[in-house]
Amino acid sequence: MCEICGNIYTKRNLLKMHMRRHMAEKPFECEICGKTFACPSEIGRHMRVHTGEKPYVCKYCGRTFADRSTNIKHERIHTNERPFTCQTCGKSFTYSNVLKNHMLTHTGEKPFPCIPCNKTFSRKHQLDQHIATITHQQTVRNLTAQHMLQEDRSNDHVTNQQSIRSVSTSVVKVEKIPVSTIIQRQLGKNISDIKITHIIGNTGRNIGEVDEVSTDGHSTDVYINAE
């Protein structure tokens, strides 16, 4: 018995080949295309793809198949055999995958999602039908347009931030000019030739009396006593 899935085999070599499927071990390689397989029977079936051999014949219609399992499934069409039965409602089916899809109607599971529309479906063909609808296509176009608009806004934001950063990091040189230099530039006279008694502020208010004028040959400073 397989300790992973519980399948039971009567022969040890069958269990060994089965375990290779769980371990993803594929030691048998096709000499023509290089595809690998877990057991010799699988590579034998695969080789018929290259040779075109179809040794299995339907006993009802004469149709030929490359492998036995496909022939057995086909013959159920003629016999109407339905060996797979739903344990919930008792409905029977010809193929195991059809029963598996049917079980989703009982569990409510919807494993096939449409991501753009945020919808889910219990069967793949339902999803395929939905994708072909105009509603789905319009949703995809709207989402694409929104995505492009968000990208444009994001790019504009980055550009603005870079511009602000560039301005904020610029160095502005501020020159401190003595009062005497300003007076000299405006009146065209040396500070020593002018008797300054008061300093008037921008508001017109008397902000202080001249206390001392100091000249060192390079710059002239005015010291005031603030009122």
pLDDT in tens, 189-222: 554 544 444 444 444 444 444 444 444 444 444 4
For residues 15 and 3, what is the distance between their CA atoms, to the nearest angstrom? 10
Contact between 157 and 170 under an 8 Å Cβ cutoff? The reply is no
Residues with Cβ < 8 Å from 9, sequence gap 6 or more? 1, 2, 15, 18
The domain locations on the chain are 29-81, 82-141
Pick the CATH number of 29-81 from 2.60.40.10, 3.30.160.60, 3.30.70.120, 1.10.10.10: 3.30.160.60
92 strand-pairing partners:
85
Contact between 210 and 197 under an 8 Å Cβ cutoff? The reply is yes
Model pLDDT, residue 152:
67
Select from 12, 13, 37 the least CA-distant residue to 27: 37
Reduced to 3 DSSP states, what percent helix, strand and coil does the chain have, rounded to the nearest 5? 45, 15, 40
**107 or 162: which leads in pLDDT:** 107
Q: Do domains 29-81 and 82-141 have the same CATH topology?
A: yes
Q: pLDDT, tens digit, for every residue of 75-97? A: 999 999 999 999 999 999 999 88
How many of the other CB atoms lie within 10 Å of CB of 187?
11
Contact between 13 and 31 under an 8 Å Cβ cutoff? The reply is no
Select from 150, 144, 110 the least CA-distant residue to 136: 144
Residues with Cβ < 8 Å from 54, sequence gap 6 or more? 48, 64, 65, 66
For residues 225 and 227, what is the distance between their CA atoms, to the nearest angstrom? 6
For residues 188 and 194, what is the distance between their CA atoms, to the nearest angstrom? 11
DSSP type of residue 208: E
Model pLDDT, residue 75:
95
Select from 103, 139, 140 the least CA-distant residue to 122: 103
Q: Give the pLDDT band of residue 173 (cuts 50, 70, 90).
A: very low
Q: Per CATH, the architecture of 82-141 is what?
A: 2-Layer Sandwich (3.30)
How many of the other CB atoms lie within 10 Å of CB of 9?
14
The most confident of the ranges 57-71, 123-137, 162-176 is 57-71
Select from 227, 197, 200 the least CA-distant residue to 212: 197
